[in-house]
Amino acid sequence: MRLPAAERRQQLLVAALEVFAERGFHSTSMNDIAEAAGVTKPVLYQHFESKRDLYRELLGEIGAELQNAVAKATVDPTSPRGQLEQGFDAYFCWVNDHRNAFDLLFSAGTQREADFVAAAHRVEDAIAEVVADNIVIEGLTRERRGLLAHGIVGLAEATCRRWLANPGDIDHRELAAQAGELAWFGLRGIRGA
Amino acid sequence: MRLPAAERRQQLLVAALEVFAERGFHSTSMNDIAEAAGVTKPVLYQHFESKRDLYRELLGEIGAELQNAVAKATVDPTSPRGQLEQGFDAYFCWVNDHRNAFDLLFSAGTQREADFVAAAHRVEDAIAEVVADNIVIEGLTRERRGLLAHGIVGLAEATCRRWLANPGDIDHRELAAQAGELAWFGLRGIRGA
DNA sequence: CATGCGGGTTACCGCGCGGTAACAACCGCG
DNA sequence: CGCGGTTGTTACCGCGCGGTAACCCGCATG
Interchain proximity A159–B181, CB inside 8 Å:
no
| Helical residues (DSSP H) of B24-141, grouped into ranges | 30-37, 41-47, 51-75, 80-97, 99-106, 115-133
Question: What is the structure's pLDDT at A109?
Answer: 62
Question: What is the structure's pLDDT at B177?
Answer: 95
Find out whether B115 and B58 touch, Cβ atoms under 8 Å: no
Question: Does residue A193 surpass a pLDDT of 80?
Answer: no
SS3 content of chain A, % helix, strand, coil (to 5): 75, 0, 25
**What is the CB neighbour count within 10 angstroms for residue A58?**
23
Band the pLDDT of A43: cuts 50, 70, 90: very high
Q: What is the mean pLDDT of chain A?
A: 93
What positions of strand C are covered by protein, i.e. any atom < 7 Å from a CB? 6-11, 16-22, 26-27
Question: What's the maximum distance between 2 C-alpha atoms anywhere in chain B?
Answer: 65
Instruction: Select from B156, B168, B87 the least CA-distant residue to A152.
Output: B156
Find out whether B89 and B172 touch, Cβ atoms under 8 Å: yes
Instruction: Choose the closest CB to A158 out of B151, B182, B184.
Output: B151
Looking at residue B111, what DSSP letter applies? Answer: T
pLDDT digits (tens, 9 = 90+) for B63-75: 999 999 999 999 9
Residue B80 C-alpha, separation from nearest chain A C-alpha, in angstroms: 16
Interchain proximity A150–B159, CB inside 8 Å:
yes
Question: What's the maximum distance between 2 C-alpha atoms anywhere in chain A?
Answer: 66
For residues A73, A79, A84, A90, the Cα torsion angle rounded to the nearest 10 degrees is -20
d(CA A46, CA B26): 27
Q: Which residue from A minimizes the CA distance to B143?
A: A168
Question: What is the structure's pLDDT at A110?
Answer: 61
Question: Does residue A152 surpass a pLDDT of 80?
Answer: yes
Question: What is the structure's pLDDT at B139?
Answer: 85
Question: What is the structure's pLDDT at A191?
Answer: 77
Task: Give chain B positions within 8 Å (CB) of A100.
Answer: none
Percent of chain A topping pLDDT 70? 96
Task: Give chain B positions within 8 Å (CB) of A24.
Answer: 111-113
Question: What is the structure's pLDDT at B113?
Answer: 78
Interchain proximity B181–A178, CB inside 8 Å:
no
Interchain proximity A159–B159, CB inside 8 Å:
no
| B67 or A111: which leads in pLDDT | B67
Question: Does residue A55 surpass a pLDDT of 80?
Answer: yes
Radius of gyration (Cα) for chain A, nearest Å? 19
Question: What is the structure's pLDDT at A153?
Answer: 98
Instruction: Choose the closest CB to A109 out of B112, B153, B187.
Output: B112
Å from the A44 CA to the C7 C1': 12
Question: Does residue A63 surpass a pLDDT of 90?
Answer: yes
Find out whether A152 and A131 touch, Cβ atoms under 8 Å: yes
Instruction: Choose the closest CB to A168 out of B143, B154, B181.
Output: B143
Question: What is the structure's pLDDT at B93?
Answer: 98
B 29-48: CB within 7 Å of strand D: 39-43, 46
Band the pLDDT of A111: cuts 50, 70, 90: low
- In Å, how far from its chain's centre is CA B56? 14
Find out whether B147 and A175 touch, Cβ atoms under 8 Å: yes
* Average pLDDT estimate for A129-146: 89
Find out whether A111 and B26 touch, Cβ atoms under 8 Å: no
Question: What is the structure's pLDDT at B169?
Answer: 84
Q: Find which of A32, A112, A173, A178 to mutate to test the B interface (most B CBs within 10 Å of its CB).
A: A112
Task: Give chain A positions within 8 Å (CB) of B159.
Answer: 147, 150-151, 154
Residue B169 C-alpha, separation from nearest chain A C-alpha, in angstroms: 10
Question: What is the structure's pLDDT at B108?
Answer: 66
Å from the A179 CA to the D12 C1': 58
Question: What is the structure's pLDDT at B123?
Answer: 96
Task: Give chain B positions within 8 Å (CB) of A110.
Answer: 111
Å from the B142 CA to the D7 C1': 55
Does the C-beta of A46 come within 7 A of strand D?
A: no
Q: What are the residue ranges in chain B where pLDDT is below 50?
A: none
Question: What is the structure's pLDDT at A137?
Answer: 83
